[in-house]
């Protein structure tokens, strides 16, 4: 009897679920505006890890992942203890940078709470010099482009 090889991971960027924690909120239970960019990063990093090109892999190859731009548009407040659905898509992919656009929704009713983008690039871990995207990272993001918004 031969073993069946494991299925490769779904190449798309998949939604990530997170709860609004009490520490994320102000005194009225509304999530602080500064927490939204961190959620964009959570969605990106969870997917990179799942696709086999997470921070540990990049570090072993001599790269640091850096965020060169972050934008967020707020639509409605997230509140403690909402469960959030973070839905990332590859919005742009170049040789040296990628933009990942993420919609943050309340999981219970699908209400759009915020949309945001992170532009990421790589730098050399030793010198800090900019580098082209690692081929494995570029390939993983290219494969995910089926979700690009038009």
Is pLDDT above 60 for 147?
no
Say which DSSP state 8 is in: P
Confidence of residue 127 (pLDDT cuts 50, 70, 90): very high
Confidence of residue 148 (pLDDT cuts 50, 70, 90): very low
Question: Domain locations in the chain?
Answer: 16-147
The CATH superfamily assigned to 16-147 is Hotdog Thioesterase (3.10.129.10)
Query: Measuring CA to CA, which residue among 86, 111, 110 is closest to residue 17?
Result: 86
Is pLDDT above 90 for 3?
no
Mean pLDDT of the chain: 93
Residues 60-105: pLDDT tens digits? 999 999 999 999 999 999 999 999 999 999 999 999 999 999 999 9
Residues 31-53: pLDDT tens digits? 999 999 999 999 999 999 999 99
Question: Which pLDDT belongs to residue 83?
Answer: 98
- Give this prediction's pTM: 0.89
Task: With beta carbons less than 8 A apart as the criterion, state whether 28 and 22 touch.
Answer: no
């Amino acid at each position: 009897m031969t073993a069946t090889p494991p299925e490769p991971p779904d190449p798309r960027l998949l939604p990530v679920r997170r709860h609004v924690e009490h520490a994320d909120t102000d005194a009225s239970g509304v999530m602080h505006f500064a927490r939204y960019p961190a959620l964009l990063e959570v969605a990106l990093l969870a997917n990179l890890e799942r696709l086999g090109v997470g921070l540990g892999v990049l570090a072993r190859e001599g790269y640091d992942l850096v965020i060169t731009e972050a934008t967020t548009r707020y639509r409605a407040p997230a509140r403690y203890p909402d469960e959030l659905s973070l839905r990332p898509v590859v919005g742009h992919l170049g040789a040296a940078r990628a933009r990942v656009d993420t919609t943050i929704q309340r999981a219970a009713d699908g209400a759009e709470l915020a949309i945001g983008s992170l532009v990421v690039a790589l730098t050399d871990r030793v010198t800090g010099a900019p580098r082209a995207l690692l081929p494995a990272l570029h390939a993983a993001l290219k494969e995910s482009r089926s979700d690009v918004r038009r």
